[in-house]
Amino acid sequence: MQYLVVFAILFAVVAFVTAPLRRAHFATSGGATDLADLEAAREAKYRELRDAELDHRTGKLSDADYEELDRTLRAEAIEILHGIDRATIDPQ
């Protein structure tokens, strides 16, 4: 059980620390990011959200860890959706 807690905390820390790097990767500047890549990233982020929810329901994540992870993943998903909007509105 301790390993699961340590793993959940480690995962949350890694997600938090690498969030700016992922956001910079998916930001569309001058149409440099391909729409297909953004759509694939969206689906991957949705999958991460579903996995986190399943982990919470099965008891692998505490309520606090789940809320933090869910908040982080949703913020990243919103950034990806904004990138898709920018790519479809201004496809340079």
Please indicate whether residue 91 or residue 83 has the higher confidence score (pLDDT). Answer: 83
Sign of the dihedral through C-alpha 82, 23, 11, 17? negative
Q: Is 92 helix (H, G, I), strand (E, B) or coil?
A: coil
**72, 12 contact by CB (below 8 A):** yes
pLDDT at 28 over 50: no
Task: Indicate whether this model's pTM tops 0.95.
Answer: no
Burial of 3 (0-12, 13-18, 19+ CB in 10 A): exposed
pLDDT of residue 26: 53
pLDDT of residue 54: 96
Percentage of the chain beyond pLDDT 70 is: 73
* Of residues 57, 2, 21, the one with CA closest to residue 49: 57
Q: Tokens for 55?
A: 């982990």
Name the residue ranges covered by the structural domains of the chain.
Answer: 2-89
pLDDT at 53 over 70: yes
